[in-house]
Structure 1
Amino acid sequence: MNAPEKWSDLTTRVASALVMVLVALIAILAGGHVFHVLVAVICGLMIWELVNIITPPERRNLSRVLGGLTGTAVFAAVYLPVGFALPLLLAPALIGFGQLEKNRTIYMAFTVMILMSGFGMMQVRDDMGVGWMLWLVVVVVVTDVFGYFAGRAFGGPKFWPSVSPKKTWSGTAAGWVGAALVGLLFSINTGVGLQLIGISIAISMASQMGDIAESGMKRKMGVKDSSNLIPGHGGLMDRFDGMLGASVFLLIMGQFIGFPPGVG
């Protein structure tokens, strides 16, 4: 790949990214209903994309139903006691499993991850505040940005060429370095200790796992992008796959070790 081809999509990607960052920042700062609505809409649209990918064209009206059901479940769950929220969160996965004719395992696995991710992000914002929600987002974004530029600048061995031909080990490692720097910055400014560096790297790895899982699913289904909703980025699953892995990992990890470290 020559130099112009490496960076051919950069302008479009940057413009779309700036819009997404602005919308996300406004919602995170606002919190409450505003943030809950945004997360619910994103989760619903990701399910819409997922069902469109794994079902034949004649059954794709199901994507709107399941997408709407998912968004509603995520939004309602955050206002309910946990005992009632959990079955509500799993309901769209089981309902879709019963309605689909094939690719049911793919649907169930990704739907559970999307539902738990949305719930996890709302819990982080509501319970831990703006700062820790920003930390989570910044780690994922920096992982992606460092990986994008390092991968294209340095190239080198591919991470998993049969599934994601553009991902390189240089980009993967650069994502960890970026996450470590974010962890160092937040540890200095929050007083939680340097172990936040390691946690940030783990979050970075989890976000990369989410990215890899989505790439593998798309490769299996023979599609390049989850949709064309975001110019230069593809669909919402293409853009938020890393956040899926990161937020689910944080939700699970926090139950075992306490988070933030030294505070929770």
Structure 2
Amino acid sequence: MAGSEPVVTPGSRYGDLLPRILVGIALIALALGAVWLGGIAFALLAVVVVLLIYAEWCAMHRVGRAVRMVGMFALAGAVLFTHLDYAAYALMLVGIAAAVLFFLASIAAWGLLYAALPGIALVWLRAEPLGAQLVIWTLVIVWATDIAAYFSGRTIGGPKIAPRISPSKTWAGLGGGMIAAALAAWLLARQFGLDLNPVFAAALGALLAVAAQVGDFFESHLKRRAGVKDSGNILPGHGGVMDRLDGVMPVSVLVAIAIGLTR
């Protein structure tokens, strides 16, 4: 059915595993390399990613070229403003652009916010003390959630969470993802010297795993409404950039808000 994820059968349970692994390794290497370099390298990667996400959003919702370009200029400017330590101006730019887009095509305005806020959050986090560690901690929690949910969901199976939105997502997958995220959050917080109580770090990881899954469901909902299987086809075995980063979107924003509140 268009807009839904394929129903897993025993013979095809791991049929897409090899391309997912190969592309996943390449993406992880690219992300970690950019995070390690920081500075303009990380900012430029963030610009490329948010522009691709916005382009996929606009393609799904058939947004016109002129409206699309307005959003793209605003996105690139907002991320670069954040890199230059003007995060407040970046948020103002996004707010103004979203207001303009709302009157041109309201769905484009929501897409702008969807793409911009995680990009701003990650670039802002990278510039913080222990910024590389914070960004890696954030990304690894999402990766651990995705990997564990994928394997535990397909191995254990069981009741679906929301079959009308995402037919392949199970409660077993969510549980496996939460456990893996909790362990990853605790281990990396200890390894990176982050000032987090071990129990709190694990609990936070589990909660962020839920947020990552919510991001996944939200993107699945968007695809079902648009009548498409994937947000794009740029990533073999994964689909589009939105498909790969749907969990990062809410988690990065939540982590940035939490760090901002403790400053």
Q: Normalising to structure 1: TM-score of the pair? A: 0.88
Q: Residue 15 of structure 2 aligns to a residue in which SS?
A: coil
CA positional deviation for 1:60 = 4.8
Q: 1:255 aligns with which of 241, 244, 260?
A: 260
Contact persistence 2:16–2:237 (CA under 8 A): yes
Structure 2 CA distance, aligned partners of 1:231 and 1:65? Answer: 29
CA positional deviation for 1:77 = 3.4
- Alignment of 1:241 with 2:246, yes or no, is yes
Structure 2 counterparts to residues 43-54 of structure 1, below 5 A: 43-54=50-61
What stretches of structure 2 of length at least 5 have no aligned partner?
1-7
CA positional deviation for 1:66 = 2.8
CA positional deviation for 1:99 = 2.4
Structure 2 CA distance, aligned partners of 1:123 and 1:66? Answer: 20
Q: Provide, for residues 62-111 of structure 1, a one-character-per-residue CA deviation record: whole Å limited to 9, x for no partner.
A: 435533442333223331534422211323323332322xxx2x443342
1:115 is matched with which residue? 116
- Alignment of 1:29 with 2:31, yes or no, is no
Q: 1:86 aligns with which of 81, 91, 111?
A: 91
Which amino acid in the other structure matches residue 120 of structure 1? Answer: A
Q: Provide, for residues 162-183 of structure 1, a one-character-per-residue CA deviation record: whole Å limited to 9, x for no partner.
A: 0111111110111100011112
Q: 1:183 aligns with which of 180, 185, 196?
A: 185
Q: 2:68 aligns with which of 53, 63, 66?
A: 63
- Tell which deviates more after alignment, 119-128 or 36-45: 119-128
Structure 2 CA distance, aligned partners of 1:60 and 1:222? Answer: 21
Distance 1:140 1:240, change over 3 A: same
Structure 1 CA distance, aligned partners of 2:206 and 2:218? Answer: 18
- Alignment of 1:216 with 2:221, yes or no, is yes
What stretches of structure 1 of length at least 5 have no aligned partner?
259-263
Q: Residue 159 of structure 1 aligns to a residue in which SS?
A: coil
2:164 is matched with which residue? 162
Contact persistence 2:81–2:89 (CA under 8 A): no
1:199 is matched with which residue? 204
Distance 1:107 1:208, change over 3 A: farther
User: Aligned-pair RMSD on alpha carbons?
Assistant: 1.9
Q: 1:146 aligns with which of 119, 134, 148?
A: 148
2:5 is matched with which residue? none
Which amino acid in the other structure matches residue 243 of structure 2? Answer: D
Structure 1 CA distance, aligned partners of 2:65 and 2:243? Answer: 19
Structure 1 CA distance, aligned partners of 2:77 and 2:53? Answer: 13
- Alignment of 1:228 with 2:233, yes or no, is yes
Contact persistence 1:35–1:122 (CA under 8 A): yes
Percent sequence identity is 31
Distance 1:89 1:80, change over 3 A: farther
Q: Normalising to structure 2: TM-score of the pair? A: 0.89
CA positional deviation for 1:207 = 1.3
1:126 is matched with which residue? 127
Q: 1:174 aligns with which of 173, 176, 185?
A: 176
Could you list the runs of 4 or more consecutive aligned residues of structure 1 that deviate by over 4 angstroms after TM superposition? none
Structure 2 CA distance, aligned partners of 1:129 and 1:42? Answer: 19
2:4 is matched with which residue? none
Which amino acid in the other structure matches residue 202 of structure 1? Answer: L
Greater relative contact order: 1 or 2 (C-alpha under 8 angstroms, separation 6 or more)?
2
Q: Residue 246 of structure 2 aligns to a residue in which SS?
A: helix
Contact persistence 1:45–1:67 (CA under 8 A): no
1:261 is matched with which residue? none
